[in-house]
Structure 1
């Protein structure tokens, strides 16, 4: 009897998950991560105010030399200049003078002339306004001062109002003697005003509280004296005398909008960085 033939059957083993492999798992994980980040971003946009979003954007903008990581100086705002082409941050994370943005580049036919005649532009005044807004959260001391400040850009220029809040006056009652808070605020404003060459107007305001009947010294004199004290403080902060356009007192004739006559915010000094030509 002939020997039977031996048949050997080999079983093919396929590794992995067939011809698809495991790459789809990585792609799916990336997709889920991206969707999570997207919905987190949507939630943050809905949960924050416009000012908070603007502050976050400025914090992560390497061209704005006001954050702690990008400041190149030792002043109150952590930078030598508001224009990124004029200063380099010490740690390299801030402004860049190699590739400034178009609206920050030097002007002229050759591109090397200094910015002249443009110091009153809306762009520069807005940048100064952003310096104050960017101070929020820098420190508890800064936040305490910022509750006394309100800024806005108008047709006249950048208006900086320094006003009383409940229990925290900026001047001694009935006098033009500034408190330590007012001195710090005026030093802060002086630091910002030195960044430009705009002329400055200072106006003093009071509330409607009357002085003693028949007194020779009243709210008109008080508001004017407080404006003069502010002018001298800005001068000591490095502001040239020729930049002072006017110093006036308006007593209680112009209360703040939507404020009662005895509102402490009426007791204020208004400092305006004027647009060019005013």
Structure 2
């Protein structure tokens, strides 16, 4: 009888490299990093938020659910950080809900503000007057013409008048050509006028002596306007900014300096006015002409009448 051999059993052991849970640590690490980011973000917010905002946030989380959903007195329905009373200090508990109190109305006294502006402006013009007087006394050339330089403050602003004397006219006879010393006066005045923001009005005046051709030809009106423009050119040549000049007019003999003597040489003069804000606004408004509404109304009337446009 033959001997039977026992079967040979071979066991194979498979080494596992972690199986399905091999990446679990990555998820845990990601959660940890996310938590740390949230933590550092919270720390940054707490560090960059003001104390008042932090108190407001704290008050918000103290608000009862009923107050948050339905409104009413609570500890978080006001921006005030005062505990208990909120905007109404007479209350012992809770706060006033927004909308229950009226906002404080701010009122402005426009007349008082306008008066204060005019007071400051008048002080600046008085200071300019003193500076001009000092400049005249300090300048030998201007000082010898001091009697012909009249400076005063009027309702329109600071007025500087350069007047003729019997033997010392500013212009050639019946001409708009300036005398050399008149140019010097205007150049020195221009330097001082540039020191203020106010704009300038310039007017020319003559005496009542008429031209031989009368008012129909070249008259005192044209002469006064030409002299005013000649003075304007010299002021600009002396350094005055062109934008400061607002008005240049010739008034002939209509506004005499000496009412009792219409032929007095003192009536021949150049008047420079450093205008205050009120006068400047009045001139600007007057020069602006018809407003758009009036122009449209006039155009409608012309259309109704069938007039040519």
- TM-score with structure 1 length normalisation? 0.54
Aligned to 1:248: 249
Q: Is the 8 A contact 1:186 1:234 kept in 2?
A: yes
Between the two proteins, the alignment pairs up a number of residues equal to 162
Alignment of 1:227-266 (within 5 A): 227-257=228-258, 259-266=260-267
**Residues 234 and 129 (structure 1), Cα distance of their counterparts in 2 relative to 1, 3 Å cut:** same
Partner residue, 1:220: 221
Note if contact 1:120-1:276 (Cα within 8 Å) is conserved in structure 2: no
| Structure 1 residue 240: Cα displacement | 2.0
State the partner residue of 1:162: 162
Aligned-partner Cα distance in 2 for 1:224–1:137: 30
Note if contact 1:208-1:261 (Cα within 8 Å) is conserved in structure 2: yes
Question: Tell me, which stretches of 5 or more residues in structure 1 are unaligned?
Answer: 1-116
- Alignment root-mean-square deviation, CA: 2.1
Structure 1 runs of 4+ with >3 Å offset: 117-120, 135-140
What CA deviation, in whole Å up to 9, does each residue of 1:21-78 have, x standing for no partner? xxxxxxxxxxxxxxxxxxxxxxxxxxxxxxxxxxxxxxxxxxxxxxxxxxxxxxxxxx
Q: Distance in 1 between matches of 2:247 and 2:133?
A: 26
Deviation at 1:138, TM superposition (A): 3.3
Q: Deviations over 1:165-197 (max 9, x none)?
A: 120000000000000121011112101101112
| Conserved? CA contact 2:258–2:264, under 8 Å | no
Residues 199, 274 of structure 1: 8 Å contact kept: yes
Using structure 2 for the length normalisation, give the TM-score: 0.49
> How far apart, CA to CA, are the structure 2 residues paired with 1:256 and 1:174?
19
In structure 2, distance between residues paired with 1:274 and 1:120? 14
**1: CA distance between counterparts of 2:167 and 2:207?**
15
With over 3 angstroms needed to count, the CA separation of the structure-2 counterparts of 1:120 and 1:276, relative to structure 1, is farther
Counterpart position of 1:193: 193
CA contact (8 A) 2:136 2:143 kept: yes
Aligned to 1:204: 204
Structure label with greater radius of gyration: 2
